[in-house]
Each structure stands twice: as C-alpha cells, then as structure tokens.
C-alpha cells in the first residue's frame, strides 16, 4: 500500500521538514504520495513534486485550509486516508496538532516522534524526555505516525517529477476560526533549518545579556536558541527553546554558552554534528556531549570568538 506524507509548507514553498519525512516514508516502502493542503499553495505543490522519491502530489486548495486549522486539515486528510497503509507528518507544531485527530477518527493509535523505522509496523521513539528509547509495534491497520525530522537525512529537493493531482477541498467545520498570528520577525535562519545554532542558557544572566550572542550569530549566519532554564527565567522567548519540550535540532555546528546540559536540553540537540560548549563550571554535564569544550566565562569568550572568526 502507498504511504501518505503530509507536507509542511507556507503555501509558497515546502519546509525542509517535509523532505525528512519523505525520507522516513522511503524506509517504510511503497509509493509515496504527498498531500499539500493550503490556500494558493500551487507553488508549494510544484516544489513537492520535484522532491526525490515522490510518486504523486495531491493538492487541496481552499480558503478553509489556508490557516491549517486542525479541524479542517484533519478532515482533508481523512477524506483520502482510506487509500493508505501509513500516514506520516513531521513532528512540528502543525503535524503534532493535526495528526492525532486523524488517528482518533480512524480508531487507530498514533506513533509519535519516531526516530527509526525497523519494519513497516515497528518503530523506535524516545520516551521520558529522551532518557529511554522504546521499540514499539503497532497492530492497527493504518499506521499514523509523526516523524522526528532530525533523525532522518532529507531526500534531495530537486530531481523528481511527480504528477500533481487536485483534490476536492473539504467544507469548513464552522467550529473554529483563525484570529491572528504573531510570527517572531527575524533575519536569521529558522532554528530547525539552520546549519549553525548559537544557544544561551541560564548562564546568560538576563534577557539583555542575550544580545552578546548577536554579533557572533551574524558572523556565522546562525540561528539563536536557548535552554528551557533560560526561557523559564524569561531571558529568551519560548520559540527559541531547544529541548524535549521545545525544538529538536541537529545543525552542523551547535554552540552552547552558559548551558549546563540538563537531559531535557541534550535530548533536543545531541544529534548535532559538532557541539561546542562554553561554561564556567568544568563539571557541567554539557561537556559530556561536547566535541570541543572550553571552560571559561562566556562574556569573555563570545567577544573573542566573534573577533577571531
């Protein structure tokens, strides 16, 4: 049976998370269809059709799907769910919001946040904030799955030429309406897509002090992240949070400043290719996972580093 991948997109283009999810689908096997559900999302659909490994792109384009309200989005997925043995979405805020609705309506369990495909019905996933890896097997006829994107290398964005097919869009549920969106404006790359991330922890000391990271981030074209401790202390906004309860990232280079390395933070960044840790405390657990550790005061190190790069 075919595998359905739910695309993450902003109508103009598909998000990289979609390519990671297609890679997970390839491990399951079978034809891969990608659903692009949105409003004026033709450009995103054309891009999805070019991704390697995709057999068909299904497009549902309507006013009611533009804001990706869970009620309408889930109904759109359910309209075609019967054709598939597996339904996969990236474990992003959109995927996590909509997919359990689909699973419940199909009367099947959802397997959240998989990090590997062992077979068509067996997967691994982290539990207890990443302290334990569980191997789980689903007995349901349809497997509904969210994918931890950092665990799968993305398929190539160019090289495919899938057919694009239009679907009839479902009607609006009338139960929810979109009011507003406040997107944190930033010229920096997105945390989950950045190749370099500069993160600050409680050691930053204040929200103002976080700005010492800006020149370094500018120089490396890096995204800025934060530990949960820094977010809880009000030093950084929640959408910067890297960790089990925040964003899961795996950049080429992850630099942690003033982060002790609580397990819940490590769960969010330990798949990074190279980890650098700077901390005053030589006993900080972060040094246990860092490729390069430097014991020192971040307020001395960051300016020096910025100058030398």
Partner 1 sequence: MKILVPVKRVVDYNVKVRCKSDGSGVDIANVKMSMNPFDEIAVEEATRLKEAGVATEVIAISCGVAQCVETLRTAAAIGADRGILVETDVELQPLAVAKILKAIVEKEGIDLIIMGKQAIDDDCNQTGQMLAALADMPQGTFASKVVVEGGKVNVTREVDGGLETVSLSLPAVVTSDLRLNEPRYVTLPNIMKAKKKQIDTIKPADLGVDVDPRIKTLKVSDPPTRSAGITVPDVATLVDKLKNEAKVI
| 121-160 binders of partner 1 (CB under 8 A) | 122, 125-140
DSSP 8-state secondary structure symbol assigned to residue 75: H
CA 69 remoteness from chain centre: 18
Asked if 252 touches partner 1 (CB under 8 A), the answer is: yes
- Closest approach of Cβ 38 to partner 1, in Å? 15
Residue 45 to residue 34: CA distance in whole angstroms: 9
Which residue among 54, 94, 229, 259 contacts partner 1 (CB under 8 A)? 94
Task: Tell me the C-alpha distance between 22 and 24, whole Å.
Answer: 5
Closest among 84, 274, 55, 42 to 155, alpha carbons compared: 55
Pick from 33, 86, 101, 265: which binds partner 1 (CB under 8 A)?
A: 101
Contact status: 249 vs partner 1 (CB under 8 A): no
Closest distance between partner 1 and the C-beta of residue 165, in Å? 26
The stretch near partner 1 (CB under 8 A) out of 39-47, 162-170, 202-210, 243-251 is 243-251
Give the span between the Cα atoms of 204 and 44, in whole angstroms.
Answer: 39
SS3 224: strand
What residues numbered 11-50 form the site for partner 1, per CB under 8 A? none
> Where in 180-239 is the site for partner 1 (CB under 8 A)?
180-184, 190, 192, 196, 220, 231-232, 238-239
Nearer to partner 1, 92 or 260 (CB): 92
Query: Least distance (Å) from partner 1 to the CB of residue 111?
Result: 7
- Residue 203 beta carbon to partner 1: minimum distance, rounded to whole angstroms: 17
Counting contacts by CB under 8 A, is residue 82 touching partner 1? no
Cβ–Cβ under 8 Å, residues 87 and 99: yes
Torsion-angle region of residue 212: left (phi > 0), alpha (psi -120 to 50) or beta? Answer: alpha
Burial-class residue 308 by CB neighbours within 10 Å (0-12, 13-18, 19+): exposed
Q: Which of 97, 116, 209, 214 binds partner 1 (CB under 8 A)?
A: 97
Of 24-32, 48-56, 111-119, 205-213, the segment contacting partner 1 by CB under 8 A is 111-119
Say how many C-beta atoms besides its own lie within 10 A of residue 72's C-beta.
Answer: 26
Closest to partner 1 by CB, 49 vs 102, is 102
Of residues 56 and 270, the one with the C-beta less far from partner 1: 270
User: What binding mask, one character per residue, do residues 258-277 give for partner 1 by CB under 8 A, x or -?
Assistant: -----x------x--xxxx-
CA distances 174 to 64, 177, 185, Å, are: 9, 7, 31
Q: Binding to partner 1 (CB under 8 A): which residues in 282-301?
A: 287-295, 301
Give yes or no for a contact between 155 and 34, defined as CB atoms under 8 angstroms apart: no
State the Cα angle at 242 between 237 and 243, rounded to 5°: 125
């Amino acid at each position: 049976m075919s595998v359905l991948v739910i695309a993450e997109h902003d109508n103009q283009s598909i998000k990289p998370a979609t390519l990671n999810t297609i890679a997970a689908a390839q491990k399951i096997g079978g034809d891969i269809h990608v659903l692009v559900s949105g409003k004026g999302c033709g450009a995103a659909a054309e891009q999805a059709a070019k991704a390697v490994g995709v057999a068909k792109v299904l497009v549902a384009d309507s006013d009611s799907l533009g804001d990706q309200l869970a009620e309408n989005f889930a109904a759109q997925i359910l309209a075609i769910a019967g054709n598939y043995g597996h339904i996969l979405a990236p474990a992003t805020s959109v995927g996590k919001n909509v997919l359990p609705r689909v699973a419940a309506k199909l009367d099947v369990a959802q397997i959240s946040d998989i990090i590997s495909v062992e077979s068509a019905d067996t997967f691994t996933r982290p539990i207890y904030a990443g302290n334990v890896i569980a191997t789980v097997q689903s007995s349901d006829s349809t497997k509904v799955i969210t994918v931890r994107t950092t665990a799968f290398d993305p398929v190539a964005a160019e090289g495919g030429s899938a057919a694009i097919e239009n679907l009839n869009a479902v009607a609006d549920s009338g139960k929810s309406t979109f009011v507003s969106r406040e997107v944190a404006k930033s010229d920096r790359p997105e945390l989950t897509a950045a190749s370099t991330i500069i993160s600050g922890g409680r050691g930053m000391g204040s929200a103002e002090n976080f700005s010492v990271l800006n020149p370094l981030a500018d120089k490396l074209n890096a995204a800025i992240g934060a530990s949960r401790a820094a977010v809880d202390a009000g030093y950084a906004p929640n959408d910067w949070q890297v960790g089990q309860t925040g964003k899961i990232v795996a950049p080429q280079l992850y630099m942690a400043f003033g982060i002790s390395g609580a397990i819940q933070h490590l769960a969010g960044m330990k798949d990074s290719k190279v980890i650098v840790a700077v901390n005053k405390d030589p006993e900080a657990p972060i040094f246990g996972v860092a490729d390069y550790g430097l014991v020192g005061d971040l307020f001395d190190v960051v300016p020096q580093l910025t100058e030398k790069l």
